[in-house]
Amino acid sequence: MTLIDRRGALAFLGLAGLTALAGCTTSGPQFTEQVFTSEYGAVKDGGYTIPAVPIDRVPTQFHRQVVTYRTKEKPGTIIVDTRSRHLYYVMPGNKAMRYGIGVGRAGFAWEGEAYVSWKQPWPRWHPPKEMIARDPRLKKYADGGQAPGLGNPLGARALYLFDNNGKDTLYRLHGTPEWKSIGTAASSGCIRLMNQDIIDLYSRVKPGKSAKVVVIQ
């Protein structure tokens, strides 16, 4: 993902310690009902042309698909399963839209609840001070951040997660130009989706307290 600083990780871990996850458990096998493999072609969006993903090189389990999914969470909830590398957008009727994700090292520090406070198309990326200290080449982004574009680490969309006290956790659900990282543990960051998938998820999510995000290990 986003390349998050340690303060953000600690803030979210503090939240996690206060949060019970019993409500997001699932039961029974998942059955795939519809796979959207054909929807990873080139996309013109916001003045950019997002390249097609060679989706045949991505394992089918990480293609966007509707699955049978039983949970106590309400429709509209996002459930991030970092271990299986899947993100679920809960739908009515025991169904969910499932997306493949890449999980950064900071992403494995998550375990708790938040909500999508706001969302942004083609966001700027602001590298944390610690990252700039490790890589002086990023110093040029210290003030204004990296401009939106096809090479921006946040990709085509970003969803910004806040805790239930209204504080920015500094965690993001976002796109990535690095489709090869989907289904893997990246060296840094949090939760990333293929750009075509984050655009789809973005269109479904209405920011606010009802846009609950549950992160499980």
> Which residues are designated catalytic?
174, 190
Under 8 Å between Cβ of 153 and 188: no
d(CA 135, CA 147): 18
49: left (phi over 0), alpha (psi -120 to 50) or beta: beta
User: Taking CA 26 as the corner, what is the angle to CA 65 and CA 190, rounded to the nearest 5 degrees?
Assistant: 65
Closest CA to 96 of 133, 64, 66: 66
Under 8 Å between Cβ of 191 and 101: yes
